Amino acid sequence: MLFGPVGVFFTEQRARASGEETRARVGLEDPAFVMRDRFLAGLGTALGIAPPSVQETCDTDDIKKLAQKLGSSGVVFDFRTIDWGVGAPPPTPFVAGGYGVFYMGRVRVIRLEEPKVVWQGLCFGGTSDDKRTTLAAFQDNDGALVKTELVAAAESCAKVLLHQMAKG
């Protein structure tokens, strides 16, 4: 019992190291920008809201630090990747075997005057069970399949987030 969490930690670290090597080799990018672009485009078409005209990258989740950097007035859409990668779910009677892409993202709407989060949405996207495949298939052709699946997962997340925002 004592060694269970330690074993999981070391296994996860090895998997992450291997993932970083693959990411660097095939040029994988964080899908947050795809999610952001699709979400902002959908603001106008789905909700009738004009997308923000200024886009900046910040390296903090702290809303007070965001307000210091971006100014003391206005509204900010804050996009963040929570987790992403390629993995295999634990075998269950409900999930087919094989590997798939997963992506989890978040959007916050922050009012800078207070500063305060006035809305937040979370999403999860990924490879459907019927499209799961081998790890080798994701590594073939310089990761073409994993890149395609990550874009699809991020686009799916953007749709989910727009739906969440529309419902309030």
Q: What pLDDT is attached to residue 5?
A: 45
State pTM to two decimals.
0.79
Compute the average pLDDT of residues 78-94. Answer: 78
Cα distances from 29 to residues 52, 57, 82, 107, 108, in angstroms, run: 23, 15, 14, 18, 21
Give the pLDDT confidence of 29-65 residue by residue, as tens digits. Answer: 888 999 999 999 998 887 788 877 767 777 888 888 8
Percent of the chain exceeding pLDDT 90 equals: 29
| 105 pLDDT more than 50 | yes
Q: What kind and span of H or E run contains 45? A: helix 32-47
Burial code of 60-78, b = ≥16 C-beta within 10 A, e = fewer?
eeebeebbeebeeeeebbb
Q: What pLDDT is attached to residue 26?
A: 66
Say which CATH topology domain 29-167 has.
Double Stranded RNA Binding Domain (3.30.160)
| 143 pLDDT more than 80 | yes
Q: How confident is the model at residue 79 (pLDDT cuts 50, 70, 90)?
A: very high
Phi-psi region of 123 (alpha: psi -120 to 50; beta: other; left: phi over 0): beta
Q: What pLDDT is attached to residue 132?
A: 87
Percent of the chain exceeding pLDDT 70 equals: 79
Cα distances from 5 to residues 17, 90, 153, in angstroms, run: 18, 17, 30
| 22 pLDDT more than 50 | yes
Which residues are within 8 A (CB) of 67 and not within 5 positions of it... i.e. 6 or more apart? Answer: 110, 112, 115
